[in-house]
Amino acid sequence: MADRVPRTRLGRGGRLGRLAAGQAVRGAGVRLAMIGRTEEARRVLAERSALAAAQQLVTVLGGLKGAAMKLGQMLSVLDLELVPESHRELFRTKLAELRDRVPAVPFAGMREVLEDELGPLERVFAEFDAEPIAAASIGQVYRARLLDGRAVAVKVQYPGVEDAIRADLRNLEVFSALWRSALPSAADTDVLAEVARSIGNELDYPREARTQHRVAARYRGHPFVFVPDALLEYCTARVLVTELVDGHSFEHLRTLPAAERNRYGELIYRFYISSLFHDFEFCGDPHPGNVLLAKDGRVAFVDFGLYDRMDPVHVDFERSCLRAAGERRAADLYAAWVGRGIIDPAAGVTAAECLEYVWAAAGWHLVDEPITVTPEIATGAVILAIDPRAAEFRGMRHQLLPPEHVFSRRADLFTFALLGQLGVTANWHTLAREWLYDEPPATEIGRAIARWRAGQAGR
C-alpha cells in the first residue's frame, strides 16, 4: 500500500538490501573512467540495464521515503552518464520522479496527522485542496486558504516517517551499498553519515519554521529573491504552514532563453553559495524542487529543513584555502590542510596534488572567465570531490574532510549540479570575488542588491 511507510530497521534494510543486490548484478562489468579532466567523467552501462536500474530506484526509494528518498533526490540532479548519451535525459527524468512524482500518501492518512496537530480542518482553513502540490522526502505539501483569506502551503509529515528516518540512520551500512551501486566512486561512509545526520534535522518542523521565519525577514522586500514566511502560529511538530509561492516550477526555468537563465543562475549562486560567506549560514539542500519562479519575476526558495549555521572560523578557513588555490599558492594550501588534519603528511600527497584537486572540484569559483555549467561538468566535479581516488587524484585517498565542512561542501557541489541543469553561463569568479576578497559587486544584479542592503541598513 502506498500509504504504508516501512518503519523498522529490518523492514527498510531488507528492501534497501534487495535494491543494492539487484543493482550489483546489473552493474557487473561497469567501469568508471576518469579521463584527464572533470568533464570527461564517463560511466558505461548497458542501456536496458540502466533504465531498469533507474525504474527500480524510483520505485524502491520513492516507496521508502525518508533518508533513502533523499539520496535518490540528490542523484536526480546529476548527469550520472549511466546510459548512452542518447538515453541520458530519460534516465535523469526517471530519477527526477523521486523529486516531482513521488508515490503519494492518500489524504485520509495525512488528514489524520493534520487534525492531530491542528484540530478539525474547518477551524483553521477556509479551503484545503486534498491533492498534494509537492511530495518531499519527509512529507507532502498541500495548497490551502486560511480563514482570514491568506493562501498558504501546508507541509505535513508522512505518518510514521519519524520511525522510518530513525531506522534509516541505523542503516548507514546498507546506504553505503545502495550508493555504491548507483555511483561506485561515492561510497565514503563518513559522507553518507553526514548526509543522514543532516536529514534528521528535517524532522524538526518547529526548528525549520523558526529558521524560515528568520530568513524570510532577512529577504523581505528583496528586489530579486523571495523567501515565503513561516506562519509560526500554525506550525507544529508535524505541520509547517508557510506563505504560498504563486508561480512556476524549476522545469519552467529550463525552458527560458539563455539570457534569462543566466540571470536566474546568478541569483541561485548568490542564495546558495554567497550566503555562507556573507551570513555564515546556508541552505544545504539545493535541488530543483526547492527553486521556483514567482509570478513577480523573483526567484523563490523553499524548504529550510537543512538550513545550517557555520562557525565564522570554519568559514574563514574555507575562504583562505580557496584564495590559496586561486592564487596558485600550493605550499600554503598544503600547509593549511596538514594543519587542519585533512591530509596525513606521511601519505605522500604533494602540494601540487592538493592544488589540482581543489581546482578540479571548486575551480568554477576560481577561473576568471565565463563558464557554461553543463550536467557533465557538474557531475564530474561531484565525482572527483567525493572520491579523489579516481584517476589522477589517487594520491588524495587519505583526504579526510572535517565534519563541519562536509555539509557546506555538499551545498557547493549540488548548487553546481543545480546550475548544470539550467545550463547557465557566468563568470562565477567575478561573483566569488565579493566573498573571497570583499570586493564590491561587478554585476548589475550585485550592485542592485548592494543598494537594497544599504537601504535596509539605514532603516
Residues acting as catalytic residues: 285
> Residue 65 is which amino acid?
K
Residue 164: which H helix or E strand, with range?
helix 161-169
Q: How far is CA 200 from CA 203, 230, 252, in A?
A: 6, 20, 31
State the burial class of residue 197 (Cβ atoms within 10 Å of its Cβ: 0-12, 13-18, 19+): middle
Rounded distance, CA 390 to CA 398, Å?
13
Which run of H or of E encompasses 116?
A: helix 107-118
Residue pair 302/99 in contact (Cβ under 8 Å)? The answer is: no
The residue written with cell numbers 554585476 in the block is: 443
Report how far residue 151's alpha carbon sits from residue 143's, in angstroms, rounded to the nearest whole number. Answer: 7
Q: What is the 3-state secondary structure (H, E, C) of 219-267?
A: HCCCCCEECCCECHHHCCCCEEEEECCCEECHHHHHCCCHHHHHHHHHH
Element (H, E) at 282: strand 281-283
8-state DSSP, 45: -
- Rounded Cα distance between 273 and 281, Å, is 10
Which of 381, 380, 398 lies closest to 389 in space, CA to CA? 398
Element (H, E) at 157: strand 151-157
Q: Which ranges in 329-440 belong to alpha helices (H)?
A: 330-340, 351-362, 375-386, 403-422, 428-436
Please give the single-letter amino acid code of residue 323.
Answer: R
Give which of 278, 276, 274, 272 is closest to 227, Cα–Cα. 272
Euclidean distance between CA atoms 422 and 290, whole angstroms: 14
Q: Which of 416, 91, 151 is nearest to 295 (CA)?
A: 151
